């Protein structure tokens, strides 16, 4: 009864929950979290994971959920919505320093529908997979990694290459980066809330602090971020799981 009363009061107050505890809200106009280095450090083997809740996307608008880029060039890794008929699917794009897209493909699964989804991307030198809500997406994400990659920054809720751009209106929670390609069983456990710390090099619960702009990295690797232009915290979920 107390839990139902708490939920009712928060709904009446216009507050929204994070997925695991609290999340950050991004307005889609100008705010993002910046980490001043590419967390997977140009490795050919890595994994990226996060929870996202974002409304349906307008065709023709690029909006980045998570990106790693070079601030003075054309190379990047981006998980985003993208122009085209599949604007509510997630698109993964990897470009090298020559601005050549070595991978550019949509998921088959709808992601942008104002529902919480868990996204996990794994890559072992081009043997890649996208998992949505713990299940491997049907698209073929394998590719040939070619060219030079000199990424030097990471962003949540936007991309920063020649400047901050492509801001996504969304809630994002529990962002993790690993320095290895995780297995399908590990991804399922991650989706269920039982995350391994083996190979963890970046972990942002995105709980935010009440003052300042510091967004801490809980991996122990010191990859701290900066909240820029005001992403703010969602309300605490009454179904909060303990973070790992």
> pLDDT > 90: what percent of the chain?
66
Lowest mean pLDDT segment, chosen from 21-30, 124-133, 175-184: 21-30
38-73: pLDDT as tens digits: 887 778 899 999 999 999 998 888 999 999 999 888
Q: Give CA–CA dist 51/176, Å, rounded.
A: 10
Phi-psi region of 113 (alpha: psi -120 to 50; beta: other; left: phi over 0): alpha
User: So what's the pLDDT on residue 61?
Assistant: 80
All structural domains of the chain, each given as residue ranges with its CATH number in brackets, are 25-233 (2.60.120.200)
Distance CA 79, CA 12 (A): 34
Of 91, 86, 87, 61, nearest to 76 by C-alpha is 91
Q: Please count the CA atoms within 13 angstroms of the CA of 127 that sit on its side-chain side.
A: 6
Of 221, 225, 223, 216, nearest to 243 by C-alpha is 216
What are the pLDDT digits (tens) for 156-195? 999 998 778 999 999 999 999 999 999 999 999 999 999 9
């Amino acid at each position: 009864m107390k839990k139902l009363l708490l939920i009712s009061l928060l709904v009446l107050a216009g507050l929204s929950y994070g997925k695991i505890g609290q999340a950050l809200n991004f307005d889609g106009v100008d705010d993002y979290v910046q980490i001043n280095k590419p967390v997977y450090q140009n490795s050919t083997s890595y994994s990226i994971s996060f929870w996202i809740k974002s409304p349906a996307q307008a065709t023709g608008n690029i909006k980045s959920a998570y990106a790693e880029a070079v601030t003075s060039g054309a190379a990047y890794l981006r998980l985003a919505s993208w122009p085209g008929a599949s604007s509510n699917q997630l698109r993964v794009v990897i470009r090298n320093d020559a601005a050549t897209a070595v991978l550019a493909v949509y998921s088959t699964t709808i992601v942008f529908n104002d529902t919480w989804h868990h996204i996990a991307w794994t890559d072992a030198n081009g043997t890649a997979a996208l998992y949505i809500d713990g299940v491997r997406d049907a698209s073929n994400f394998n590719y040939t990694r070619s060219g030079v990659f000199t990424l030097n920054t990471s962003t949540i809720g936007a991309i920063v290459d020649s400047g901050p751009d492509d801001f996504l209106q969304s809630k994002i929670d529990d962002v993790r980066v690993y320095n290895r390609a995780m297995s399908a069983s590990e991804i399922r456990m991650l989706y269920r809330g039982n995350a391994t710390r083996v190979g963890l090099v970046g972990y942002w619960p995105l709980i935010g602090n009440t003052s300042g702009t510091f967004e801490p990295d809980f991996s122990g690797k010191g990859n701290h971020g900066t909240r820029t232009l005001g992403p703010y915290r969602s309300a605490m979920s009454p179904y909060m799981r303990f973070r790992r």
